[in-house]
Amino acid sequence: MTMPPPKNLSMLRSFLGMVNHYGKFLPSLSDRLAPLHKLLKKDANDKHVKFEWSAKCQKAFERIKADLASPLMLTHYKPELPIIVTADASNEGIGPVIAHRMPDGRELPIAYASKTLTDTESRYPQIEKEALALMFGIKKFHQYLWGRHFLLQTDHQPLVKIFGSKKGLPTTAANRLQNYAITLMAYSFDIEYVNTLKFGKADGLSRLPSGEDVEFQPMMKKIDCAIVDIYTETFSNLPVSAANVRAATETDQTFQAVMALHRKGWPDHLSKGFKPVGLNVHVDDLMPFFQIRHQLAIANDCLLWGLRVLIPKSLQPRVLSQLHKTHPGQSTMKRLAHKHFWWPSLDKDVAQLVTA
């Protein structure tokens, strides 16, 4: 394993979580991890001791890594046994594990993988990072998975609904997820959600990635280039330019809050007292976006819902005026509007304009 050593407590906890998941297979584990556990201790003032990665820590780390990749842990691939692919994403990297479920119920890993996120990938919203982790795992372990049915595990619940839907991917889903879903159609799998607290087997790999992957990057670059072309065409059909939308988005507090939440990850629920840090936005203004949160995308620093551009408040009168120039009826005007752009009160604003 080429996993680098942890640089802080968060990375150390992720590594220890992965080790503890497989701890029952490793002899004298607590003794061998003692130098690493010392870094987690607190002093009399309930403060963590200074994080100092010593030679003893490095030695313990290398020994445990060697064990994780040894016959103590890894099992040979056997076509007759069920396959599980588990993948996770962090802000630093992505990491999948492929394992067999043994007849006695144990899970034994066949192989691990990890990769550092590129600058572009690091700016993906969390849902797209988690989807990228699944893609990386399936492509990395393609030789084991092609023509076989397997179980795909993620700790990001929205992906279960998107990739596991029997009705197909919603047309309003982000284009990157649509491209991933099309790729995944070539494989036979079930997908299930696993609580993050029980996801240590992949968490450590994503937080301590081993570097770039030269085989995987070109394929992802093709998908990204295709998405750029689609979005460029989308903006070309608008009555306002991408530059106008981007500039208006930068000064719109609600849109800035939505973009920040989209990149960081939305909460499961929006309570009345919820407020994004540093932005004066009311929860009622966020609710329409919350309801479509898993279908949003960001391109050119603008928000999109599928192929529809979200228009900030300052540009809405201009867009409506352009749309109304040919004096179409209300239903025609709504149909044209919904084809290219959206904002929460769009239908109401169209109706008011037509009847004014």
Check whether 144 has a pLDDT greater than 90: yes
Whether residue 230 is contained in a domain is answered as no
Q: Same domain for 305 and 275? A: yes
The number of distinct structural domains making up the chain is: 3
227 is a domain residue? no
Average pLDDT, the chain: 83
Q: Taking the model in full, what pTM does it have?
A: 0.70
Q: Of 245, 341, 337, 344, which is closest to residue 285 (Cα–Cα)?
A: 344
Judged against a pLDDT cut of 70, whether residue 327 lies above it is answered with no
Residue 43 within any structural domain of the chain:
yes
347 and 242 share a domain?
A: yes
Residue 253 has pLDDT above 80, yes or no: yes
In a domain, 213, yes or no: no
In a domain, 216, yes or no: no
Parallel/antiparallel/unpaired status of strands 93-101 and 302-305: unpaired
Residue 78 located in a structural domain: no
CATH of the domain at 293: 1.10.340.70
Residues 133 and 197 in one domain: yes
The answer to whether residues 259 and 307 belong to one domain is yes
With bands split at pLDDT 50, 70 and 90, how would you rate the model's confidence at 268? confident
Residue 275, in any domain of the structure: yes
Is residue 61 located within the same domain as residue 112? no
Domain end among 156, 188, 207: 207
Distance CA 356, CA 354 (A): 6
In a domain, 2, yes or no: no
Amino acid occupying residue 73: M
Flag whether pLDDT at 84 surpasses 90: yes
Please tell me the number of Cα atoms within 13 Å of 306 on its side-chain side. Answer: 12
For residue 110, what are the contacts with CB-CB under 8 A and spacing of at least 6? 74, 75, 76, 77, 98, 99, 100, 141, 144
Per residue in 91-136, pLDDT tens?
Answer: 889 989 999 999 998 888 898 888 999 888 888 888 889 999 999 9
If we measure between CA atoms, which residue out of 128, 136, 52, 59 comes closest to residue 94? 136
Distances (CA, A) of 204 to 31, 65, 110, 157: 20, 12, 17, 19
Pick from 63-72, 237-246, 328-337, 338-347 the range whose average pLDDT is largest: 338-347
- Residue 172 has a CB neighbour count (10 Å cut-off) of 17
Q: For residue 111, what is the domain's CATH number? A: 3.30.420.10
Q: Are residues 251 and 138 part of one domain?
A: no
Distance CA 152, CA 222 (A): 24
For 113-117, 222-226, 292-296, which range has the lowest pLDDT when averaged over its residues?
222-226
Please check whether residues 272 and 182 belong to one and the same domain.
Answer: no
Characterize the bridge pairing of strands 341-342 and 308-310.
parallel
DSSP letter string over 13-39?
HHHHHHHHHTGGGSTTHHHHTHHHHHT
Mean pLDDT of the region 294-321: 87
Does 55 lie in the same domain as 110?
no
- Poorest-confidence range of 7-16, 101-110, 229-238? 229-238
Confidence of residue 42 (pLDDT cuts 50, 70, 90): confident
pLDDT at 332 over 80: no
Structural domain of residue 151, as residue ranges? 83-207
Percent of the chain surpassing pLDDT 90 = 26
